[in-house]
Structure 1
Amino acid sequence: MPHNTLWSTAWQAGPAAGPPGRGTEVVVSVTEFVTHRPWTTLSVGAAGVRLRRTWPRTPGAVGMWLWAEIGPRMNRTGSITVWTAREHLLGFVARPDHRRIVDAYRDRGTLRSATWDTPFTGRGALHASARRLLTGADPWPAATP
């Protein structure tokens, strides 16, 4: 059985991307959207790319990667985002352009996310920890009420 490939975009810096000092606390958020039908994945990914264009003006955004699983089913896509504070992440989630995307695809798949605070030790370390989650090497945290 062929293995799927987890593909991600290059790092997209946000306005808070100035080099945080090593050990500075950041917030990492990983989202995964699993579509019910593989042909929907492309349009979800395209919506993410359009939203990514506003990233350089998103308050509190340190940086982001978009990702997709490339393989026979090709039905997973999402983002890895880094923030200066949870308030900025919540502000982004509440933005009208983000809400429109969530509402448009609400019944076309399943969304899950994980968010954690961590000391900044470099983009590579953040990306690696998120990839471990996405590849199943680390378990997704249990949902909290």
Structure 2
Amino acid sequence: MATRLLRSRWQSGPVPLSLCGAHISLTDFTATTHPQAAAVALAGLRLRRTWPRTPGALGMWLWADVPGRRSGAVSVWRDEVALKEFVGRPDHLEIVRAHRGRGALRATAWRVEDFEPDAVWDRARALLTGTTPWPHGPVHLEDA
């Protein structure tokens, strides 16, 4: 059975999309149980509310699989520096620490010279559905 992915509407950040290049980040969290998956998804929705004010953010999609133990985000950044600043934000670190030991996390990033939303989503979907292999395996959060 093929993986079915649902995604949110595009959520713009404060940086206009007219900039040339972009840094793309894809995260994939697989929870050990369905209730833990729901808690991670809700945490992602809370972070999404801050997106319009997140420095360096161009935009994002949240995604989840059906029936629902995996979720994550495809986020688009001005550059790698902006992504690293977000990863180190206290509210983001709080979520990572809260779910440590409750699943496995994979993440990857790549640069595009011209941001094409459909092309970025297609590449992310290929990774998430297994059509394209991930550059490296999952990290168990107790190891992170």
The alignment's TM-score, normalised by the length of structure 1, stands at 0.89
- Give how far 1:3 is off: 4.1
In the aligned structure 2, how far is the partner of 1:17 from the partner of 1:138?
Answer: 30
Q: What is the aligned partner in structure 2 of residue 70 from structure 1?
A: 66
The within-5 A match list for 1:11-90 is 11-20=10-19, 24-71=20-67, 74-90=68-84
> Aligned residue pairs: how many?
137
In the aligned structure 1, how far is the partner of 2:16 from the partner of 2:135?
Answer: 27
In the aligned structure 2, how far is the partner of 1:30 from the partner of 1:45?
Answer: 15
Give per-residue Cα distances to partners, 1:67-121, cap 9 Å, x unaligned: 00012xx210000001111000000000000000000001110111001112224
Q: Amino acid of the residue matched to residue 47 of structure 2?
A: L
In the aligned structure 2, how far is the partner of 1:64 from the partner of 1:53?
Answer: 11
- Give how far 1:125 is off: 1.2
Compute the RMSD of aligned alpha carbons.
Answer: 1.3
In the aligned structure 2, how far is the partner of 1:17 from the partner of 1:34?
Answer: 32
The alignment's TM-score, normalised by the length of structure 2, stands at 0.90
SS, match of residue 142 in structure 1: coil
Name stretches of at least 5 consecutive residues in structure 1 with no aligned partner: none
Q: Note if 1:135 corresponds to 2:122.
A: no
Name stretches of at least 5 consecutive residues in structure 2 with no aligned partner: 138-144
In the aligned structure 2, how far is the partner of 1:86 from the partner of 1:106?
Answer: 24
After TM superposition, the runs of 4+ consecutive aligned structure 1 residues lying more than 3 A away are: none
In the aligned structure 2, how far is the partner of 1:121 from the partner of 1:94?
Answer: 25
